[in-house]
Amino acid sequence: MGSSRGTYYSALKRIARVANSPLSLRRTCNSIAKSTARAMQANGCRILSLDSQKEYLITVGTYGLSDLYLKKGPLDARKSLPDILEGKVVFIADATKNERVQYPQIALTQGISSILGVPVLGKGEAIGEIRIYTREPRQFSEADKSFLLSVADICAVIFERAELHHLLEQDYKTNEKRRKLSQASPLPTTLKPVSFAHPSEEDFAKLLDFYCIEWLYEPRSFPLKWEGGKIAEMFTPDFYLPELDLYVELTTLKQNLLTEKNRKLRQLRQLYPEVNIKLLNKNDFLKLLAKYGYGPLGEAKVEGIDRVLYTHAQIQRRVRTLARRISRDYAGQRLVLIGILKGVVCFMSDLMQHLSIPVTLDFMAISYYGGDGQVVKITRDLDSSITGQHVLMVEDIVDTGMTLNYILSHLSAHNPASLRVCTLLDKRARRLINVPLDYVGFEVPDEFVVGYGLDYKGEYRNLPFIGILHPELIKGHNL
């Protein structure tokens, strides 16, 4: 089975016209999915984008697939045909029996047999996928694969155009309404073409974006009742928060709606006891944020934060990644970690817990004198000799590089076997001396950041996240 080259050529012409139209991202991708499935004589097509954390796949266009199949659960990029995001074309002969398929049981109930998936590549990296589904077992030809890759190239342009539009829109909003919570978004979320059913859901999403909490809107439908072997009732929670492994259903104070939702939640918990779900009104959600140290009901330590740059979960994921790289690079060796008090304490503590090699710790303390902050004085030196040792200098943040350059020169004089630098934050925009950085957590903008050990006038070190201090608090302060 397969379409002729003439059919594919005609389909590509239609797809190109749609791609160049003023339609929304969702409508554009739905139209492309329809043309693609029909040209390939397939039962369904799904266009997916990779979220900003590169952990989940979000549907941006679909054709021919049931609502139950689309909302079977969040698609984990590491579990759902992961080879596609490595740039490979993936063919699954039987989706009900292949371990690379995340939900084989749902594929069985929905009659999905064969799957063909290709990556959507942007600047050499996977930013999404296109998947073709058939109900009958199917072998795909090279012409089929070539056609689908051509469609993926068109989708890559559409994705990047949508992202550029989003960035320009966010930049405009930031300039116009910078101090309003509803418009604050430090890191644009990648391709979330969502039409919310209620304004409260949009407000909820904006609040999640402000705190950099990743979310998926209506990602899964749970069957609650069956009649005659068919699903008679389903429940679709409003949001899923992957970092918290939590489904959230929003509600108003209307008693009739609240009673019905509570009934469905009781059924869901009985049928799916492993699912963590909460029914929240606005006050409930603010209390939930406060539990994690966020939001207006959080502790006073959050006051003065303009916006959250990196959440605690994001930091921990990055720290684990750095620790794995360091452990691999120093395999079979002992390592001395050296930090400058006090800002590095949180980072150093978390980093060493994830290292799988023997380590020892040492600390230094410094002060500045001369009135201009450019001259460094060591007030506490190392307790032990580092001569002949492998040394990793651990920093909380590197900006101008002047202090780090001085410290590295001081340590080099002790003749260590090797000397490298690991920093959680790199404020490259402030660099005056080009010091070598071997391991970097995040590159941050030229703004005053606090939290996770970083302070302003001795405060904010105990924040669980890294945030940007409100500009009014640091007027006249030299960053």
CA-wise closest residue to 324 among 363, 362, 360, 353: 353
Asked whether 231 and 68 are in contact (CB, 8 A), the reply is: yes
User: Residue 26: which H helix or E strand, with range?
Assistant: helix 25-39
**Token digits of residue 117:** 């998936």
Phi, psi dihedrals of residue 123, rounded to the nearest 5° = 55, 40
Beta bridge partners of residue 62, listed in sequence order: 46
CA-wise closest residue to 306 among 453, 476, 461, 448: 448
User: Residue 336: which H helix or E strand, with range?
Assistant: strand 335-341
CA-wise closest residue to 129 among 69, 57, 218, 194: 57
CA-wise closest residue to 465 among 321, 305, 338, 336: 305
Asked whether 441 and 310 are in contact (CB, 8 A), the reply is: no
CA-wise closest residue to 326 among 441, 451, 407: 441
Distance CA 459, CA 190 (A): 33
Asked whether 463 and 293 are in contact (CB, 8 A), the reply is: yes
Beta bridge partners of residue 364, listed in sequence order: 340
Catalytic pick among 144, 238, 306, 399: 399
Asked whether 407 and 376 are in contact (CB, 8 A), the reply is: yes
399 is catalytic: yes
As annotated, the active-site residues are 399
